[in-house]
Structure 1
Amino acid sequence: MEFCPTCGTMLQYELPYMGRPSRFFCPACPYVCYLENKVKIKKKQPLVKKDLEPVVTEDDMKNASQTDASCPKCGHGRAAYVQFQTRSADEPATTFYTCLNETCRNRWRDD
């Protein structure tokens, strides 16, 4: 938001029209501020991806219980699971599964 330097009223924006550049204008006084049509990027900064830590680590799954859940990726019938309370206390716990098939080791969760 921009404000008028003379009277303090919030400026309104007007799109470019018939060759006139876009501008901010004050509805209460004759103040007008024309805007440049070109925007120059002075500095480019590369984005750096943040390393994400897994919710359930390999150590958590070593001591996990096992169940007869089938893997959605390979269809194997056994999986290790752990449960965590990831939401508020009145919501059910989230179950994290790891497929026990040595070639798959797929991970999924059940909310």
Structure 2
Amino acid sequence: MRSSVTGDSARGAVNAPGLQPERTILAWQRTLLAATVACAGCARAATGRPSASLTAATLVLSAVLVVITIGTRLRRRRYRRRADDPRPIPQTVGALLCAGIGAAAGCVLLSLL
């Protein structure tokens, strides 16, 4: 039998239990970082060229940051308790994120008009 880098041992390392939740936590942290940068950029734009829509976008993005932080902490806490916990993050977190990002995008679009 031929041994290769993509053999069973390599697949076992990639599909090891506990890695998927860890990757999920890392993805949430990257999302939190990106949202922080977006909020900081929006806040900087609001101070440079004050408008109600940019201020509203900054406030909405701040709320999105809070929701992402809650989601990240919830996922990390579950991972520390049990690495193979299959329960997903509550759907309300995702719904709040989508609504918040949509509202912030609408506010930024209004400021561009």
- Looking at both structures, which has the greater relative contact order when contacts are Cα pairs under 8 Å and sequence separation is at least 6? 2
TM-score of Structure 1 vs Structure 2, range by shorter chain? under 0.3
Larger radius of gyration: 1
Q: Please identify which structure carries the higher helix content.
A: 2
Larger strand proportion of the pair: 1
Q: TM-score, normalised by structure 2?
A: 0.24
